[in-house]
């Protein structure tokens, strides 16, 4: 486990992960501070954003810090509208970048499965370890290279940008116009307070289009039958925090006591199935402060 975020961890042999496969490597001497290491290793987009957010001096002279560093490709994969918003709002950009930072110098050998740690932004991140195939993920995002040392910390490379939770599951759904039907159903079923509680919850969230695929009159009928509506909605909830890697190939008991299984086909498509229906997971791993949301295209 983490041995205290204020503690510098000096490892003789540490676990590095390359392409999801761990190997033992001997720690090498740091080649500079975090800013210098990131610049020298080609993280040009991250370094540019660190400067724009006014954090350059912090990552150069303060610490120690553990940085989950997104690649240039990870930033390029973001929605351009989001990128423009971040560039126009330096404080929001700063919060996103700080969400990639843990206080202390934490090498991968000190990680434990299902570890929850507070980021420098304030929201927590969840680390999971997997044995088959071997790998480390943070909020469901793969660590593709670990344990790059710096004089004031350590860098772990991730292949996607980590976005801080907007709040609870309910907060996140309320802030997204794709889920107005789901929010209305959750409210009518009297489940809003439950899903706003500490949780944790893994929610398979049907979009408005998913509800529109139901036979005509189904939604209206459910809204008039609260017990039936609750059963349908709770079938979409697993009472734990499960990012995609932990879901694949497994079956779970939902909050309605139904069984939900998650599988991946040869084309990489992930589906979530209950006895009632099967849905395609279209957007996995949206973090919430009390769990995680996976967007699906069909009501299950």
Burial readout 95-106 (b: 16 or more C-beta within 10 A, e: otherwise): bbbbbbbbbbbb
Q: Are 138 and 129 in contact (CB under 8 A)?
A: no
| pLDDT given for residue 30 in this prediction | 60
Query: What fold, for 169-296?
Result: FAS1 domain (2.30.180)
User: Which residues sit opposite 69 in a β-bridge?
Assistant: 157
Sequence spans of domains, the chain: 13-158, 169-296
**CA contacts within 13 A on the Cβ side of 55:** 26
Q: Are 128 and 246 in contact (CB under 8 A)?
A: yes
Q: What is the torsional sign of CA 170, 171, 177, 178?
A: negative
Measured between alpha carbons, how far is 299 from 235 in angstroms, rounded to an integer? 10
**For every one of its 300 residues, what pLDDT tens digit does the chain have, with 9 covering 90 and above?**
333 323 222 232 333 333 343 433 334 456 799 999 999 999 999 999 999 999 999 999 898 999 999 999 999 999 999 999 999 999 999 999 999 999 999 998 888 898 999 999 999 999 999 887 788 999 999 999 999 999 999 999 999 999 999 999 999 999 899 999 999 999 999 999 999 999 899 999 999 999 999 999 999 999 999 999 999 999 999 999 999 989 999 999 999 999 999 999 999 999 999 999 999 999 999 999 999 999 999 999
Say if 13-158 and 169-296 have the same CATH topology: yes
pTM more than 0.85: no
| pLDDT given for residue 250 in this prediction | 94
| pLDDT given for residue 24 in this prediction | 36
Using alpha carbons only, give the angle 120, 121, 126 rounded to the nearest 5 degrees.
80
Q: What is the CATH number of domain 13-158?
A: 2.30.180.10
């Amino acid at each position: 486990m983490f041995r205290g975020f204020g503690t510098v961890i000096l490892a003789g042999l540490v676990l590095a992960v390359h392409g999801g496969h761990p190997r033992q490597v001997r720690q090498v001497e740091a080649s500079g501070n975090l800013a210098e290491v990131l610049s020298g290793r080609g993280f040009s987009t991250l370094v540019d954003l660190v400067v724009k957010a006014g954090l350059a001096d912090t990552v150069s002279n303060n610490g120690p810090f553990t940085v989950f560093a997104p690649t240039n490709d990870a930033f390029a994969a973001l929605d351009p509208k989001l990128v423009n918003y971040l560039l126009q709002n330096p404080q929001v950009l700063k919060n996103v970048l700080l969400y990639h930072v843990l206080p202390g110098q934490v090498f991968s050998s000190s990680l434990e499965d299902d570890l929850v740690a507070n980021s420098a932004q304030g929201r927590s991140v969840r680390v999971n370890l997997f044995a088959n195939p071997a790998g480390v993920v943070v909020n469901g995002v793969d660590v593709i290279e670990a344990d790059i040392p710096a004089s004031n910390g350590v860098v772990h490379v991730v292949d996607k940008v980590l976005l801080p939770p907007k709040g609870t599951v309910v907060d996140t759904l309320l802030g997204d116009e794709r889920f107005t039907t789901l929010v209305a159903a959750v409210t009518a079923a009297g489940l809003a307070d439950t899903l706003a509680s500490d949780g944790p919850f893994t929610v398979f969230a049907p979009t408005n289009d998913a509800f529109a695929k139901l036979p005509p009159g189904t939604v209206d009928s459910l809204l008039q039958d609260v017990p039936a509506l609750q059963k349908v909605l709770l079938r979409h909830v697993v009472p734990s925090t499960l990012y995609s890697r932990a879901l694949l190939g497994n079956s779970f008991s939902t909050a309605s006591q139904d069984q939900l299984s998650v599988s991946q086909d040869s084309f990489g498509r992930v589906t979530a199935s209950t006895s009632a229906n099967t849905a395609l997971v279209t957007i996995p791993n949206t973090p919430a402060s009390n769990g995680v949301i996976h967007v699906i295209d069909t009501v299950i």
